[in-house]
Amino acid sequence: MVTMSGGSPAWVAGIAIIVAGPPGKLYPPAMPGPGAFHVRQPAGSHFRGPGGRQPLREPLGGAMGTPRPFRFGLLTERCHSADSLIAQARRAEELGYATFLLRDHFTPYFFGDQLAPLAALATAASVTRTLRVGTLVLGNDYRHPVILAKEAATLDLLSGGRLELGLGAGWLQAEYEQAGLPFDPPGVRIGRLAEAIAVLKGLFAAGPLTFSGRHYRITGLNGFPKPLQQPHPPILIGAGSKRMLTLAGREADTVGILTTATRTGTLVDDSSERLAEAVEEKVGWVRDGAAERFPDVELSLVVSVTITDDGPGAVEDLIRQRGWTGVAPAQVVEMPSIFIGPVAEVVETMEARRERFGFSYYVVPDRLLEAFSPVVARLTGR
């Protein structure tokens, strides 16, 4: 049961959900279902930041089909000191990147050693003025949502309302095992994430929260501080499976669609996950979850970009480096997460893919900080 001041319970699969709002006003779940928790905001709700009452972002497409403006994020992977982190954050802001992002891992598998994300992002925010900071993504099982709510709200408050909270269900089995954490089946981890999102939204809202679910129980707890962005900082959910993408569509402001396979508890660079038709299906799952709010959901990808005048040669090199078999160069060129060619061609391709798939928020690793910046300069805000 989720209860907050000023409401009466709405029952979903035997679980009561009450959402904060004006006294006596109830916002029911959008998609009732077993184990589903949804804190829904009023129609036309806004995120309030330091500039006053403003929409979170432009919608995917307005009444006239206006596309959502492009923005770009930098995923830092190589900063291991205060000096390097500060320099990279400042340079990202200078070049026009919208977000400065960190992963959430405590083992070096696949991505190398990482700084702790929330403390590092606080440092980045303290040395920049407009750059937004975000997690891509936090493993839900690594922090209790009550603890995370306090940390996230504090970071949002102290950064002047610049936090974007990326969440995931957790996937790296070896990391769980080394830390002595139970690696539950996917359905359990996803159900736990769904509950955590309800707890986070509840603690970010006005009034005390009481919540009773399968995984978390909160009794009369009033979150402090409240985040500067209201009703909560933008939430991104990273997802690749049907169940996760449906949840993301229902709950997230931004959906980061995965084009790698993690269902086996490790990272598999399966070329079939990247094919245009596979990504199109994933966007469809987000649409199913979002229903009528789909135009308000931002779609994002972490992308591989090669700026070159030798596109065909670069495609062959990529296939060889990734060890892909059974995939033709023409299919690689059409992969939504792959961009190869000169800057002008990459720009044109991104515009075409926004039209087809809806992607407007692209994230690149920090090794591309400088090489990708001409694309950022040409497309940001367009």
User: Domain residues of the chain, as ranges?
Assistant: 2-39+70-379
Question: Mean pLDDT in the chain?
Answer: 87
**What is the rounded CA–CA span in Å between residue 364 and residue 61?**
24
Mean of the pLDDT values across residues 175-189? 96
Query: Domain 2-39+70-379: which CATH class?
Result: alpha beta
Between 267 and 241, whose confidence is greater? 241
Mean pLDDT of 367-379: 98
14 pLDDT more than 60: no
Q: What is the pLDDT of residue 287?
A: 98
pLDDT for position 4: 52
Residue 45 has pLDDT above 50, yes or no: no
Alpha-helical (H) ranges within the chain are 82-95, 117-126, 145-158, 173-179, 186-204, 242-251, 271-274, 276-290, 311-322, 329-333, 343-357, 373-379
Average pLDDT value for residue range 352-359: 98
pLDDT tens figures, 321-350: 999 999 999 999 999 999 999 999 999 999
pLDDT reported for residue 13: 33
> Which residue, among 99, 203, 115, has the nearest Cα to 153 in the 3D structure?
203
pLDDT digits (tens, 9 = 90+) for 64-93: 368 999 999 999 999 999 999 999 999 999
Residues 287-318: tens digit of each pLDDT: 999 999 999 999 999 999 999 999 999 999 99
219 has pLDDT over 90: yes
CA dist., res. 91 & res. 340, Å (int):
24
What confidence score (pLDDT) does residue 63 get?
A: 31
For 166, the enclosing helix (H) or strand (E) is: strand 163-168
Of the listed ranges 62-76, 119-133, 227-241, 293-307, the one predicted with least confidence: 62-76
